[in-house]
Amino acid sequence: MKTYHIAVIPGDGIGKEVVPAAVKVLHTAAELHGGIKFEFTEFPWSCDFYIEHGKMMPDDGLEILKDYEAVFLGAVGNPRLVEDHVSLWGLLLKIRRGFEQVLNIRPAKYFKGLNSPLADPKNFDFVVVRENSEGEYSEVGGRIHKGEDEIAIQNAIFTRKGTERAMRYAFELAQKRNRRLTSATKSNGIFHTMPFWDEVFNELKADYPDVAVNSTHIDALSAFLVIKPELFDVIVASNLFGDILTDIGGAIMGSIGIAPSANINLNGKYPSMFEPVHGSAPDIAGKGIANPIGQIWTAKMMLDHFGETELGGKILEAVEWVIAKGIKTPDIGGTATTAEVTEAVCGRILEK
Ligand code: NAD
Ligand code: IPM
Ligand code: MN
């Protein structure tokens, strides 16, 4: 019997609702498999924890997490209690950075029964490879002057290593999929970093002659994702561009409550972290109606990461079946609760 040891951080808001739902699905998947089990250790690190302790997690938080095989996180943020940049840099971004989770993999695809806002959603199926450790998310910069002359300066950091790493991963992923790769750029307006981004992309493409490439400006690319998402296979994007594109990915599926993500540590030194694309959704927290699909699909990505791809496939199949049956939370046009969707997914997994 193989046991996977997983650190669980439900976090804030609906994180506390969708994480237990996905944990239930994982236990059900283990039951079906028969040869694996999950041991979950829960950590209450969140904005409530901050109110009590003055920090989002203990000082040795990363040390505590480092020996788990993965971190399974819900969402962080309760702007009424703690400023977002404090809570996010104190927990989510601290783990991404501290554990060198340099890539964020975020798929989006259409499946039957999803009420996409697109008039004619073709069978789109793409993956965004988001650079996850540098780019526009940096602590370099500051504030100068006061009053009406005040200036805030934010430096974007693009290293050759970080840029190449994300792009090579995206090229290799494209080779395993439909061999098309789009680079999200903005070299017409951003003077230093984006021409550099293009330069690295153009250099690397020679190593992957079997992948059809193009570079598209982020503004046009955002529009194309709404108008013709079926054009895309793999998209490689900087940290901020990838963040924005993947909320669009969620939106065209019908809700950002569906979109999953995996923060990948590539060097094997630290665990990877699995969390949905969405946030803590304070507007619906506590009502029992949060869509658990994003967190459940995220659990599937964690299983894939462990090499349990067959089991991961069963979870996604169950999700697709439940949605096609119309068992849906209100954000995607249904009346089901979080618990009802979760029960239906578990039921379908065991039925097979
Ligand atoms: P959000 O994703 O929390 O919510 C945006 C909208 O989508 C809301 O209307 C919400 O109700 C809806 N939504 C999101 N997930 C849903 C789900 N599973 N089911 C149904 N509806 C869902 O984004 P926001 O409002 O910008 O952020 C709220 C808080 O979450 C902030 O503190 C923000 O910083 C934080 N945040 C955290 C993460 C993370 O931890 N990974 C990601 C994004 C935002
Ligand atoms: C996400 C979130 C985070 C990000 C925020 C909360 C810092 O939006 O995971 O998509 O921008 O990476
Ligand atoms: Mn985001």
Look at residue 203 in the predicted model and tell me its pLDDT.
Answer: 98
Of 196, 229, 253, the residue that ends a domain is 253
Residue 94 lies in a domain: yes
> Which of 233, 253, 273 is the last residue before a domain boundary?
253
Residue 268 Cα, ligand 2 centroid: separation in angstroms? 23
Residues 98, 159, single domain; the answer is no
Query: Is residue 243 very low, low, confident or very high in pLDDT (cuts 50, 70, 90)?
Result: very high
pLDDT value at residue 352: 60
Q: Which pTM does this prediction carry?
A: 0.98
Is 110 within the bounds of a domain?
no
Atom of ligand 1 nearest to the CA of 18: 18
**Domain presence at residue 109:** no
CA of 265 to the centre of ligand 2 (A): 17
Q: Is residue 331 part of a domain?
A: yes
21 and 147 belong to one structural domain: no
Q: Is the CB of 284 under 6 A from ligand 2?
A: no
Q: What percent of the chain has pLDDT over 70?
A: 100
Instruction: Judge whether residue 338 has pLDDT over 70.
Output: yes
Same domain, 6 and 70: yes
Give the residue, by CA position, lying nearest to ligand 2 atom 11.
243
Q: Is residue 201 part of a domain?
A: yes
Asked whether residue 43 falls in the same domain as residue 59, the answer is yes
Asked if residue 111 belongs to a domain, the reply is: no
Residue 46: inside a domain, yes or no? yes
Q: Are residues 266 and 247 in the same domain?
A: no
Our mutation pick for probing the ligand 2 site, out of 85, 91, 92, counting the most ligand atoms within 8 A of Cβ, is 92
Which of the four pLDDT bands, split at 50, 70 and 90, describes residue 122? confident
133 has pLDDT over 80: yes
Query: Using H for helix, E for strand and C for coil, what is the string for the chain?
Result: CEEEEEEEEEECCCHHHHHHHHHHHHHHHHHHHCCEEEEEEECCCCHHHHHHHCCCCCCCHHHHHCCCCEEEEEECCCCCCCCHHHHHHHCHHHHHHHCCEEEEEEEEECCCCCCCCCCCCCCCEEEEEEECCCECCCCCEEEECCHHHCEEEECCECCHHHHHHHHHHHHHHHHHCCCEEEEEECCCCCCCHHHHHHHHHHHHHHHCCCCEEEEEEHHHHHHHHHHCHHHCCEEEECHHHHHHHHHHHHHHHCCHHHCCCEEEECCCCCCEEECCCCCCCCCCCCCCCCCCHHHHHHHHHHHHHCCCHHHHHHHHHHHHHHHHCCCCCHHHCCCCCHHHHHHHHHHHHHHC
Same domain membership, residue 92 and residue 18: yes
The chain-wide mean pLDDT, for the chain, equals 97
Identify whether residues 281 and 342 lie together within a single domain: yes
Query: Do 288 and 247 sit in the same domain of this protein?
Result: no
Q: Which of 253, 274, 307 is the last residue of a domain?
A: 253
Inside any domain, residue 11:
yes
ipTM: 0.99
**Looking at residue 115, what is its pLDDT?**
87
Instruction: Indicate which CATH number applies to the domain containing 154.
Output: 3.40.718.10
Question: Residue 35 sits in which domain range?
Answer: 1-104+259-352
293 and 212 co-located in one domain:
no
Q: Tell whether 238 and 301 lie within a shared domain.
A: no
Distance from residue 276's CA to the centre of ligand 3 (Å):
9
Tally the domains of the chain.
2
Decide if pLDDT at 123 tops 80. yes
Q: Are residues 210 and 263 in the same domain?
A: no
CA of 86 to the centre of ligand 2 (A): 13
Asked whether residue 127 falls in the same domain as residue 97, the answer is no
